[in-house]
């Protein structure tokens, strides 16, 4: 509807979102989901975009949604495509009418105060950014680097999703590499644009993370169209889609497991990263140090396998260019076993990022999508607060501290916390105490969504200057 020009403003309403919704999320003024919470996919991505979002409206309301018919009903009030609704991301309120809004404006006094904070602050503040637009917003808001660039969000653009799907459905390595060759220029172009925006600021690029079924079509007409493009029968492609579907994708075939199964994916992403860094370095005269993050490692041998692919491709490209370019390969600690064996993993990893969202899910053993409905846990004071909104310093925090310590015992690695979940709460005091804890844990930097960059506090941390020098 937006593409055709029939509607200028839309609110995306979904049962829950996944990476395949990224294009729809980008063109929406607001996002409303039935399931979820403050750290679900919709909430995390919307914060990064600066888009208004109400996630998990079904937790406290009677909601029925029919995505095929494009209707939803909340507390007996039915809405159809074209109806006006307004949402308030701060309160979670949903209005069945058009509500007048006022654009946010700058505040000189606030900017002056934050200038004082930045002058005294010693905590390095980075951000999540998945495209050039987000990177520019991050720089404008004062980010000192990108701590997490989620490459899967680059795959859903209309001009590349078809090639990505061809890669997933390929029956041979040759077919898969041919499809990846179509994707590579798009990834390289995005990385080049982001490197130009970031200048001398560091950027960490996380390789493909979600399970492959999230990239495949689910509607019959889309499956038929893709099957025709790939020279497959509808039935064969339908079987491929069904075979890749996972009931528990969080713990499924994702992250580094994809690169172990299909090393050509990691090879393509390495070519895109290194070529982009070489090109922008030649343009600017500043030699970039790419930071490549392998996700969901739980065993050091997994990391070594994928790292070997990265190193082979990267070294060949750098040698051919005749440039003295360094690069680093690290991992995101988001599986408890990775935290417990961090000393071994640090033999291969040159930096750690702590993915507190997945680490919290796997440590507690419950899903971010289901916990908010378990109100009895809060009413009976089993949990004082949602551990996805407030970092569990006793359990998850202990794993983070231990992994940071053990990793540094092996080598002087750079470590930081990705606080997309732990800084999700709208209460500034909770966010502040989380960041104070990050400082006490001797983590020299934190990675926030762009809009949370405004929460830059007067914090101090040990060894900060040395680690910045090593990281950059």
Could you read off the pLDDT tens digit of each residue along the chain, which spans 472 residues?
555 566 678 999 998 887 778 888 888 999 999 988 777 788 878 877 778 999 988 877 888 999 888 899 999 899 999 899 999 988 889 999 998 887 766 678 877 877 777 777 767 778 888 999 889 988 888 888 999 999 988 888 778 888 998 899 888 999 999 999 999 999 999 999 999 999 999 999 999 998 888 888 877 888 888 888 878 899 988 888 888 887 777 788 999 999 999 999 999 999 999 999 999 999 999 999 999 999 999 999 999 999 999 999 999 999 999 999 999 999 999 999 999 999 999 999 999 998 888 898 899 988 766 655 556 777 788 887 777 777 788 899 899 989 999 999 999 877 766 654 443 333 333 444 555 555 555 565 666 665 555 555 444 333 333 333 333 3
Q: Are 42 and 17 in contact (CB under 8 A)?
A: yes
Q: Which residues contact 448 (CB under 8 A, 6 or more apart)?
A: 125, 126, 127, 128, 419, 420, 423, 455
pTM for the whole thing?
A: 0.80
Instruction: Please tell me the distance from the alpha carbon of residue 245 to that of residue 231, in angstroms, as a whole number.
Output: 22
Q: Which residues are bridge partners to 340 per DSSP?
A: none
Q: Which residues contact 45 (CB under 8 A, 6 or more apart)?
A: 17, 22, 25, 153
Place of tokens 């979940």: 421
Count other Cβ atoms within 10 Å, centred on residue 380.
8
Q: Which residues are bridge partners to 415 per DSSP?
A: 352
- Mapping DSSP to helix (H, G, I), strand (E, B) and coil, where does residue 252 land? coil
């Amino acid at each position: 509807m937006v593409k055709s020009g029939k509607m200028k403003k839309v609110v995306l309403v979904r049962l829950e979102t996944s990476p395949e919704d990224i294009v729809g999320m980008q063109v929406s003024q607001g996002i409303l989901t039935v399931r979820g919470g403050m750290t679900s996919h919709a909430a995390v991505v919307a914060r990064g975009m600066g888009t208004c979002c109400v996630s998990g409206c079904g937790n406290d309301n009677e909601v029925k949604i029919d995505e095929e018919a494009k209707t939803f009903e909340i507390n007996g009030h039915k809405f159809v495509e074209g109806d006006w609704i307004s949402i308030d991301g701060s309160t979670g309120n949903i209005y069945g009418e058009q509500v007048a809004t006022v654009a946010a404006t700058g505040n000189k006094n606030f900017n002056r105060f934050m200038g004082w904070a930045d002058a005294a602050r010693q905590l390095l503040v980075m951000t999540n950014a998945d495209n050039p637009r987000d990177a520019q917003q991050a720089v404008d808001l004062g980010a000192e680097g990108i701590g997490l660039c989620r490459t899967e969000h680059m795959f859903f653009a209309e001009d590349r999703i078809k090639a990505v799907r061809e890669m997933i459905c390929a029956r041979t390595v040759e077919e898969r590499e041919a499809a990846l060759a179509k994707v590579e220029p798009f990834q390289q172009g995005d990385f080049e644009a982001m490197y130009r925006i970031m200048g001398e600021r560091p950027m960490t690029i996380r390789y493909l993370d979600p399970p492959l079924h999230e990239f495949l079509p689910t509607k019959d007409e889309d499956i038929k169209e893709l099957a025709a493009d790939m020279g497959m029968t509808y039935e064969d492609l339908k079987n491929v889609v069904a075979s890749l579907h996972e009931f528990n994708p969080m713990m499924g075939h994702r992250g580094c497991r994809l690169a172990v199964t299909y090393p050509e994916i990691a090879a393509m992403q390495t070519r895109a990263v290194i070529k982009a860094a070489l090109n922008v370095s030649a343009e600017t005269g500043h030699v970039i140090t790419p930071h490549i993050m392998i996700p969901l490692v739980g065993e050091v041998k997994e990391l070594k396998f994928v790292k070997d692919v990265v190193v082979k491709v990267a070294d060949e490209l750098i040698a051919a260019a005749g440039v003295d370019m360094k690069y680093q390969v690290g991992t995101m600690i988001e599986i408890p076993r990775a935290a417990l064996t961090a000393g071994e993993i640090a033999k291969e990893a040159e930096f750690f990022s702590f993915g507190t969202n997945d680490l919290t899910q796997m440590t507690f053993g419950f899903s971010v999508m289901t916990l908010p409905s378990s109100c009895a846990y809060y009413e009976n004071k089993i949990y004082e607060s949602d551990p996805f909104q407030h970092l569990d310093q006793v359990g998850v925090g202990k794993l983070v501290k231990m992994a940071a310590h053990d990793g540094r015992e092996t080598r002087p690695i750079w470590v930081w916390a990705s606080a997309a979940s732990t800084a999700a709460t709208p209460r500034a005091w909770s966010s502040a105490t989380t960041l104070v804890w990050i400082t006490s844990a001797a983590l020299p930097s934190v990675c926030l969504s762009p809009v949370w960059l405004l929460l830059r506090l007067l914090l101090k941390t040990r060894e900060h200057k040395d680690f910045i020098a090593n990281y950059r």
